[in-house]
Amino acid sequence: MSEHGLREIVDRPDVGIVMSDGVRLSARVWMPADAGDDPVPAVLEHLPYRKRDGTCGRDEISHPWMAARGYAMVRVDMRGNGDSYGHMEDEYTQQELDDAVEVINWLAAQDWCNGNVGMQGISWGGFNCLQTAYLQPEPLKAVISICSTVDRFADDIHHKGGCLLNENLAWSSTMWAYSSRPPDPALREDWREIWMERLKSEPFLIANWLKHQRRDAFWEHGSVCEDYARIKAKVLAIGGWADGYKNAVPALVENIEGAKGITGPWVHLYPHIAKPEPRIGFLQEAKRWWDKWLKGIDTGVEGDPAFRGYVMEGYRPSRFNEPRDGVWIADEATGGEMHDYPLGPDGQLGREGETRVQIASPAHCGLGGGEYYAIGRGPELCDDQRMDDLYSAVWTGPVLARSVDIVGRPKVRLSLSSDAPQGQICVRLNHVHPDGASTRVSFGVLNLTYRNSSASPEAMPVGEAVEIELALDHIAYRVPEGHKIAVAISTAYWPLIWPAPEVARVTVRGGVLSLPERALAEADEWSFEAAEGAEGWQTEELRAPRNVKRQEIDHATGLVSLIIDDDFGKVRDVRHGLVSGGVSRETWVIHPDDPLSARGMTHWTEETEREGLALRTETFARMHSDREAFYVSGRLEAYENDVLVYARDVEERIERDMM
């Protein structure tokens, strides 16, 4: 025990945990050196992202810090990834969750563990800790879920409002690359055999996902919203307003007894290392949670407000993650009182009267939007909304006589008709500055055939008015006095969603914006400790990271392209010497007059090196569609010292289903 009360820790890089089917999973464990004499709780993070060279940056900041305070922090490579054996077939499979339960039971039985286990994670790890809690393993007492979802169909990267998110291609390409990498040859004598088997079994996930365009049993599996009451572990949920997963924290707080929620201004990162600032002392908050539910120490967490959220002061539109001014609120409710504002005549928001507006946006409308889930790289947030407003119907409110705190989930009710049986709309809630600049506050999209059901879509009755309600994403945002609130509606939102198969002209015949307004927060109602952490990952930089995001217009063809190139750089771990690097490339192309011109292309490079050994995978994926079907293809190449040692091509046609 140190003079500051911290315990000396050990770092075990490759602890084997053998599953009941004989597959060995690899874990990295940070724990107090004396845990065998003074057992501690274990906290599990179960991921496919490689503990040896993938999540090290955040692991090395967080896990040693917590271990020194009396916890065994256990970071497991999921089967088929990193230094673990076996194969991965898809995300959140029953096999994945069964493995997590086995690991939890194994941890609880170790002589260095006191029998109590927690589970935490962000994104994939945030999803599966909730899904594992749903299975109710007895030792699992508490979870901390960050940037996650409760509904795999409607609030993950797959669909939003019944629209097909282009993240389906982007994320499947990411996993096509991530999981194609070999284990560290220094840890596995049979690394080449493992690698070849991994390459042969690597799933092309976009094809799996496109075969389920309705909310069927495939998506119900792992969606904890199917039965929140099954989760008995104590839940702390954390999210970010600049992340794609804004709705899980309120859903968990509202539906799970004793759950607590925190949402800050952040992108898709842990809140002690996140952008935009301010950051918070996440590790101290996590320790309070674990101390209570895994050690039985009275830390007062059960008395914390149900929801703590950061109300962002209205800010100028910018694609970059500048710090956000604002205040922390503390409430038992996750939203304010709803106030209705009619979509009135002549584009006036809040004025009663008849409105009738036709909308037929060009297919490239939406380029002012940002990345679906931003992760802190380069120009990834929303731009000035005026560029998309040009192709939208806009209703603007009067100059505000007072500041308005929007806290909760805005909703829009519309009466509309369409001249085609299929179509889509995007609704954006904007903050209009005195000089006309426009910041996107929240948004929602809807596939009009999914207006009544995501399980049983139905064609629009051509020319007939229908009533719809569209919930936008949760938000906490202050529109200042002297500024304006606006609603913009378009019939395209590219490249966030894949376009409908034909251009639909939608006529809005009336509508109402319901805005959740909270009493103005005059000052912080809650304060967090400052962010802390351990020293962090020690690396030697071999290639600096670089980010490119640009739009191009081919004036000969009329095609509009968005190009995103992310070079993540290359580094050498100074302790064990493994070299890792990667480059991601995405291109999205469409013609403004032709939704069937849409196509997406990705190319990833992943590098794993040791002295005298250079291993590399190159993965490629493409997607386009016609009126009847989606067409996806991919190629996977593996190189050893620049010699091609494996290659595989995949190609599939999947019929469109009201999508």
Q: Is the pLDDT of residue 115 over 80?
A: yes
Tell me the pLDDT tens digit for each residue of 301-331: 999 999 999 999 999 999 999 999 999 999 9
How many domains in the chain? 3
- Residue 2's pLDDT is 53
Instruction: Identify the DSSP state of 272.
Output: T
Largest CA distance in the chain: 76
- Residue 376's pLDDT is 86
Query: Among 285, 304, 323, which residue terminates a domain?
Result: 304
Q: Would you say 413 and 468 are in contact if contact means Cβ atoms under 8 Å apart?
A: yes
**285 within some domain:** yes
* CA neighbor of 125 nearest in space, from 142, 109, 143, 106: 143
Residues 6+ apart with CB under 8 A from 112: 31, 35, 36, 39, 40, 72
- Residue 512's pLDDT is 98
Tell me the pLDDT tens digit for each residue of 51-60: 999 999 999 9
Question: Are 280 and 171 found together in one domain?
Answer: no
Pair of tokens at residue 571: 């580094």
**512 within some domain:** yes
What is the rounded average pLDDT of the residues 573-595? 97
- Residue 179's pLDDT is 96
* CA neighbor of 150 nearest in space, from 78, 254, 47: 254
Residue type at position 495: P
* CA neighbor of 150 nearest in space, from 230, 264, 89, 88: 230
What is the rounded average pLDDT of the residues 196-202? 96
Tell me the pLDDT tens digit for each residue of 523-556: 999 999 999 999 999 999 999 999 999 999 999 9
The string of DSSP codes covering 3-29 is TTSPPPEEEEEEEEEE-TTSPEEEEEE
Question: Are 88 and 38 found together in one domain?
Answer: yes
Instruction: Identify the DSSP state of 502.
Output: S
Pair of tokens at residue 479: 């529109």
Query: Among 259, 283, 304, which residue terminates a domain?
Result: 304
- pLDDT band of 506, cuts 50, 70, 90: very high
Tell me the pLDDT tens digit for each residue of 268-277: 999 999 999 9
What is the rounded average pLDDT of the residues 22-37? 98
Q: Would you say 505 and 358 are in contact if contact means Cβ atoms under 8 Å apart?
A: yes
CB neighbour class for 353 (10 Å; exposed up to 12, middle 13-18, buried from 19): exposed
Q: Is the pLDDT of residue 21 over 80?
A: yes
Question: Are 251 and 137 found together in one domain?
Answer: yes
Tell me how far apart the alpha carbons of residues 30 and 25 are, in angstroms, rounded to a whole number: 16
Question: Are 511 and 434 found together in one domain?
Answer: yes
- Residue 1's pLDDT is 53
- Residue 377's pLDDT is 84
Tell me the pLDDT tens digit for each residue of 124-172: 999 999 999 999 999 999 999 999 999 999 999 999 999 999 999 999 9
Report CA torsion sign: 316, 319, 322, 325.
positive
Tell me the pLDDT tens digit for each residue of 223-248: 999 999 999 999 999 999 999 999 99
Query: Among 279, 304, 329, which residue terminates a domain?
Result: 304
Q: How many CA atoms lie within 13 A of 286 on its CB side?
A: 29
**315 within some domain:** no
The mean predicted confidence, pLDDT, of the chain is: 97
Question: Are 404 and 450 found together in one domain?
Answer: yes
Tell me the pLDDT tens digit for each residue of 277-300: 999 999 999 999 999 999 999 999
Question: Are 595 and 656 found together in one domain?
Answer: yes
Tell me the pLDDT tens digit for each residue of 341-353: 999 999 999 999 9
Tell me how far apart the alpha carbons of residues 75 and 181 are, in angstroms, rounded to a whole number: 18
**639 within some domain:** yes
- Residue 378's pLDDT is 87
**525 within some domain:** no
**347 within some domain:** yes
Question: Are 49 and 77 found together in one domain?
Answer: yes
pLDDT > 90 fraction of the chain, expressed in percent and rounded: 98
Question: Are 15 and 109 found together in one domain?
Answer: yes
Place of tokens 């069937």: 596
Question: Are 635 and 615 found together in one domain?
Answer: yes
Tell me the pLDDT tens digit for each residue of 603-648: 999 999 999 999 999 999 999 999 999 999 999 999 999 999 999 9
Question: Are 257 and 377 found together in one domain?
Answer: no
**321 within some domain:** no
**210 within some domain:** yes
Which domain CATH number covers 347?
2.60.120.260
Tell me how far apart the alpha carbons of residues 354 and 372 are, in angstroms, rounded to a whole number: 35
Which domain CATH number covers 108?
3.40.50.1820
What is the rounded average pLDDT of the residues 640-658? 98
- Residue 373's pLDDT is 81
Find the angle CA(335)-CA(336)-CA(339) to the nearest 5 degrees. Answer: 125
Question: Are 408 and 449 found together in one domain?
Answer: yes
The CB density around residue 487, as the number of other CB atoms within 10 Å, is 25
Q: What range defines the domain where residue 410 resides?
A: 337-518
Beta bridge partners of 565: 548, 585
Question: Are 204 and 260 found together in one domain?
Answer: no
